[in-house]
Structure 1
Amino acid sequence: MCADMVDGVLAGTKAQHRAALLAARREVPDAVRAAEALALCEHLGEFVSASDTVCAYLPVGTEPGSPQLVDRLRELCARVLLPVARSDADGGPLALLWGVYVPGGLVSARFGLLEPAEPWLPASALGEADLVLVPALAVDRRGVRLGRGGGFYDRSLPICRPATKLVAVVRDAELVDELPSEPHDVRMTHVLTPKHGLFALANT
């Protein structure tokens, strides 16, 4: 997958991992990326229920998936919530706010993202989710997730109920044997990949 992979374990700092993983994503051909996005959408029907509240996100840039992913979720479940990123007075990340996804109701936001228009739900709305799709650069078989380092999800995921499925969405090659972890990391319970769909992680 990348130059610093040794026996299924990523070696080096988190910053080095991120750089290598982002570089690898940029090398994925558009046709492959589109096929993987379609496969992710097709897998959703295997595990999303009509009564579910799902917290999701809009994939951007080279992230696996496509905007059609949230449209498909809206067809399958009771409610789709999308994140709203806000920072404190010093520029530090706050726990994500949430907005109900309404097609055509998204507005431009920071980081080049789209987000739901106001009114927003408080950070505690994450506690109502049955399923959370979490962006990731990689995840290991113990559930350790490597994100982009912004800190928004680190501050948000502890709000989830213990029974909530926390699903890292990655390419098949981005599921690795081991990533470095820190005490504050919230581990993923599941991973979703284009080839294999949803499956549980050891989470130990």
Structure 2
Amino acid sequence: MLTPADHQKRALRAELRERRQNLTASEREKATIGVTNNLVALVTGLDARSIACYLSAPNEPNTRPFLNWALANDVRVLFPVSREDGLLDWTTGDEGTETEGLYGMPEPVGELLGPIAINEVDLIVVPAAAIGTDGTRLGWGRGYFDKTLGSMEKCPPVYGVVYDYEVQPDIPRERHDQPVNGVVTPSRILEF
């Protein structure tokens, strides 16, 4: 049974998905530069030597230039790999190739390290549809990151990556929704 929050989330996701699809190439390019610079500043500021970060899909803020920087600077990167049981596996993507994951999301190909591999990272960078000014993260509705973050004994800082207009004052929140510690946008890094 869908709750009022479920309906609000679905409507907001649809609106944000459409807005992302309408971004121009130059808006995306400018956003990529800002997101890359801010993610580099975040990792450098936290002195993170090992991070978890996703491969961005075409409609998401582009994480690839940042990931190239991380790998070139000896930052260990764990990439999420979706499993049918709703959990995330992790890989370092040693082969440098990508495949399409369960729900059409890009995922690296490499040795699977198991769901608990994420417990060894200094920073977790997660995708989001929107982030509330109170740290509420609106994902895309599959619950993978909520389950992962909710099951961690000692969770490092978690930052969502969104476009500037996707940081919003009022995001619907349910009990299972895991908050983030901060958000990275093209123009800023916000901590909650």
**Which TM bucket (shorter chain)?**
0.7 to 0.9
1:147 counterpart = 2:102: no
Match of 1:68, SS state, is: helix
Matched, 1:131 2:126: no
How far has the Cα of 1:113 moved from its partner? 3.0
User: Percent identity, aligned pairs only?
Assistant: 29
Change (3 A) 1:98 1:163: closer
TM-score by length of 1: 0.82
Q: CA deviation at 1:125?
A: 1.2
The equivalences for 1:20-59 within 5 A come to: 20-49=15-44, 51-59=48-56
Q: Is 1:116 aligned to 2:108, yes or no?
A: yes
Q: Which runs of 5+ in 1 are unaligned?
A: 1-9, 89-93
Distance 1:134 1:173, change over 3 A: same
CA contact (8 A) 2:95 2:109 kept: no
Equivalent residue in structure 2 for 1:87, among 71, 74, 84 = 84
CA distance in 2, matches of 1:159, 1:76: 30
Structure 2 unaligned residues grouped into runs of 5+: none
Q: Does 1:174 align with 2:166?
A: yes
1:5-24 to 2 correspondence within 5 Å? 13-24=8-19
Q: Which residue does 1:91 correspond to in 2?
A: none
Distance 2:125 2:181 in 1: 11
CA distance 1:24–1:145, change in 2 (3 Å): same
Per residue, is there more helix in 1 or in 2? 2
**Maintained 8 Å contact 2:128/2:162:** yes
Q: Normalization by structure 2: what TM-score?
A: 0.87
Q: 1:72 maps to what in 2?
A: 69
Give aligned pairs, total.
185
Moved over 4 A (4+): none
Residues in 2 aligned to 1:158 and 1:38: alpha-carbon distance in whole angstroms: 31
Partner of 2:170, secondary structure, is coil
Contact 2:57 2:106 in 1 (8 A): no
- RMSD of the alignment, in Å? 2.0
Helix, strand or coil at the partner of 1:112? coil
Cα distance per residue 1:69-126 (max 9 Å; x no partner): 32122234530010100113xxxxx220000133624334333333232421111111
Q: What is the CA–CA distance in structure 2 between the aligned matches of 1:141 and 1:28, rounded to whole Å? A: 23
Checking the alignment, whether the CA contact within 8 Å between 2:157 and 2:181 is kept in structure 1 is: yes
